Structure 1
Amino acid sequence: MIQIQDRIMKLPIIQGGMGVGISLSSLAGHVAKCGAMGVISAAHPGYNYEGFRKNPVAINCQAIKDHIQRAKEIAKGNGLIGVNIMVASRDYEKFVKASVDGGCDAIISGAGLPLDLPKWAKGKTLLAPIVSSGKAARLIARVWDKRYQYTPDFVVIEGSEAGGHLGFKKEDLLAHTCQTLTEILSDVKKELKVWEEKYKKTIPVFVAGGIDSGKKIAELVKQGAAGVQIATPFIATYECDAAQEFKDMVIQCTEDDIELVTSPAGMPGRAIVNDFVKKTRQTGNICMKKCLECMIPCTPENTPYCISEALIQSVKGNVQNGLIFVGSQAARIHDMKHVEEVIQEYMEEMEENL
């Protein structure tokens, strides 16, 4: 049993938010139904709604609310439902407010430093920054304390083996000189101790990136983690919201198929090498037909490609013409499973090793 402030999770697992359209209400709801935290990605959850291209912001806000409601219906009162929101989103504030209005249990925020998250959601839902270092945890905690007299309700650490946008320099990732999860966990817990004492509350820390076994979960729990965040293994589940072609790419990929790419968001990311990735290497720029104006660092004049369009294409099944973000453990996934099976396997092995 994991307690995060006034909310309870039966299992120490958070399902990582995966956009576009990979973790919506089906995946998040079924994860929560098992007693864990299911997470909806706020990265274009309305991509398949009517009117999305004309008014993406309003449609995405409505989709966030819709998917929170559907996920909770699936969960039937079990677990928690969170929303993952990228700080790099141009309409970050609106997505935060939509998540709160939708009744989410938690907001998990990364792809940048969520320095003003409490401004719109303090006291309304659990708030958790995603960090990749003790330094980032210290900065966020200090700013939240100074500006909003608040401290994180829990923290998610994403290590160098995670999928999607990574909080490390590409050269460090390539040289394998990034801190290990264990090292980052130790640093973050030290940084949070002063705020736990000041606010008289425990700040649970969850770790993510390359969590491929229950044994690894047990090791991290022994080192002080409250639990883990797992994303990629949930792609190859029947309940995942992505197209089957997307899931098959994960099931069929090898270690040689997974490489680091540079995102228009200005951060490195880990993805499966397909025709799209090869094309970005060859041409440098892929023409954008219409900008969705979704990412702060991105401008149509100089972006190498539209990451939103690339993610939309892949999740719909056009897998050779889109981007497929995965974690380092993707090559070790070989078949389809139900969400319940994935969680059960992790938990049984964890309990054997505690």
Structure 2
Amino acid sequence: MTEDISNSGLQALNSAWARGREFLGTEYAILGGAMSWVSERNLVAAISNAGGFGVIACGAMTPELLDQEIKATKELTKKPFGVNLITMHPDLDKLVEICIQHKVGHVVLAGGLPGKNTIASIKEGGAKSICFTPTLALGKKLIRSGVDALVIEGMEAGGHIGPVATSVLAQEILPNITDVPVFVAGGIGRGEAIANYLKMGAAGCQLGTRFVCATECIAHPDFKRAFIRASARDAVTTVQVDPQFPVIPVRALSNEGAKKFVQTQHEVIAKYRAGELDMETAQLEIEHYWAGALRRAVIDGDVEHGSVMAGQSVGMVKKEQPTAEILEELVAQAASALEASVGRKVDA
């Protein structure tokens, strides 16, 4: 642990996120956001080994591939880590079984409302379930369904996003849900923000963008360079041309691919208006534009035409660093902020 943290600051931090640490079984209540092609064995293990909680992004993996990924991760770390599963995956039940077989302690369910049977299967298998909630009402419904913890993620995050800012979600949900631990995500790049959410009642925080430029991350050097060069304003949401053809909002760095996507929408919609395509075919053509685009950017380094998903905190990513160093910085910043707030109370 860095020597820049005072004992009183560290004590304040450990007290503030005690519930999150206990729930995750980690030194720090910081989860690594599950990013497809990025959150694989190397980064996940590095986050867990450094005291955080790494999370494998299953994405579109088959049960066989997830089995291999979990095995490989267990060879790199003996610390706790989780697996993020997409609820719309056609083999969701099999993926849950794989997690249970490997005694994965925490399963994160994302991309839709999970069924009670899925949550029950996770619990019966001895694991804990974590779900995302975009609203207070849905959060309460998920708790009634048996989930063990919640993540609230604001629109500042990278990738697929909702319409509400993290700060608003935190104010709406944290004071009103205390039954289970609630972790906050979206736009977090420094420890001071973590400290503020902990003071509001969060059990911990989740960060994704901040870890993309970790030394252990396998992302292509050009993908990392794009992050280091970017400012917060460069991380923009997908443009939807016509509400009749909805586009799922995704936050990524603006590039030629994004501009071409707008052009493609116009061209496809024009074909539909001319009677050359039916609505279903036109919608599929628009949706398929980004197929494979994330892999092209992350793995192949095509940052001009691929999808460079990034949160608005990308402006705080300044260099490539070891994962342990990133976590130490965040912890030191959070501890200092909490110590300062305690000091202000004493002075008052």
**TM bin (shorter chain):** 0.7 to 0.9
- Matches of 1:248 and 1:61 in 2, distance apart? 33
- Matches of 2:81 and 2:197 in 1, distance apart? 23
> Is residue 120 of structure 1 aligned with residue 97 of structure 2?
no
RMSD over equivalenced CA pairs, Å: 2.7
Secondary structure, counterpart of 1:236 in structure 2: coil
Give the counterpart letter for 1:130 in structure 2: F
Quick one: which of 38, 51, 72 aligns to 2:54? 38
Bigger mean CA offset, 247-256 vs 277-286: 277-286
Aligned to 1:346: 330
Bigger mean CA offset, 30-39 vs 254-263: 254-263
Contact in 2 for aligned 1:285/1:303 (Cα 8 Å): no
Give the counterpart letter for 1:272 in structure 2: L
The unaligned stretches of length 5 or more in structure 1 are 46-59, 145-150, 169-177, 197-202, 288-296
Give the TM-score taking structure 2 as reference length: 0.79
1:202-281 to structure 2, matched below 5 A, reads 203-261=180-238, 267-281=248-262
Question: 1:110-134, CA deviations, whole angstroms, 9 ceiling, x for partnerless residues?
Answer: 2222234314322321101111221
- Matches of 2:34 and 2:111 in 1, distance apart? 12
1:62-81 to structure 2, matched below 5 A, reads 62-75=64-77, 77-78=78-79, 80-81=80-81
Deviation at 1:70?
Answer: 2.1
Q: 1:336 to 1:62 in 2, by over 3 A?
A: same
- Matches of 1:278 and 1:306 in 2, distance apart? 12
- Matches of 1:25 and 1:307 in 2, distance apart? 25
Aligned to 1:184: 169
Quick one: which of 312, 330, 335 aligns to 2:319? 335
Secondary structure, counterpart of 1:305 in structure 2: helix
Aligned to 1:304: 287
The unaligned stretches of length 5 or more in structure 2 are 1-13, 269-279, 339-348
Question: 1:140-172, CA deviations, whole angstroms, 9 ceiling, x for partnerless residues?
Answer: 223x1xxxxxx221111101211111122xxxx
Secondary structure, counterpart of 2:184 in structure 1: strand
Contact in 2 for aligned 1:86/1:92 (Cα 8 Å): yes
Aligned to 2:97: 97
Aligned to 2:274: none
Identity between Structure 1 and Structure 2 (%): 26
Higher helix share: 2
Contact in 2 for aligned 1:280/1:304 (Cα 8 Å): no
- Matches of 1:222 and 1:184 in 2, distance apart? 15
Aligned to 1:61: 63
Contact in 2 for aligned 1:83/1:106 (Cα 8 Å): yes
Secondary structure, counterpart of 1:107 in structure 2: strand
Quick one: which of 161, 168, 172 aligns to 1:166? 161
- Matches of 1:266 and 1:136 in 2, distance apart? 23
Q: Which 4+ stretches in 1 moved above 4 angstroms?
A: 1-7, 262-266, 297-300
Aligned to 2:275: none
Question: 1:241-279, CA deviations, whole angstroms, 9 ceiling, x for partnerless residues?
Answer: 322221111112233422101699953111011121111
Give the counterpart letter for 1:304 in structure 2: E
Secondary structure, counterpart of 1:137 in structure 2: helix
Give the counterpart letter for 1:15 in structure 2: G
Quick one: which of 5, 8, 27 aligns to 2:43? 27
- Matches of 2:96 and 2:246 in 1, distance apart? 19
Query: Of the two, which has the highest radius of gyration?
Result: 2
Give the TM-score taking structure 1 as reference length: 0.77
1:282-321 to structure 2, matched below 5 A, reads 282-284=263-265, 301-316=284-299, 317-321=301-305
Give the counterpart letter for 2:123 in structure 1: K
- Matches of 1:184 and 1:214 in 2, distance apart? 19
- Matches of 2:171 and 2:97 in 1, distance apart? 33
Give the counterpart letter for 1:70 in structure 2: A
Question: 1:22-53, CA deviations, whole angstroms, 9 ceiling, x for partnerless residues?
Answer: 110000001000121101101145xxxxxxxx
- Matches of 2:82 and 2:231 in 1, distance apart? 31
Q: 1:326 to 1:265 in 2, by over 3 A?
A: farther
Deviation at 1:87?
Answer: 2.3
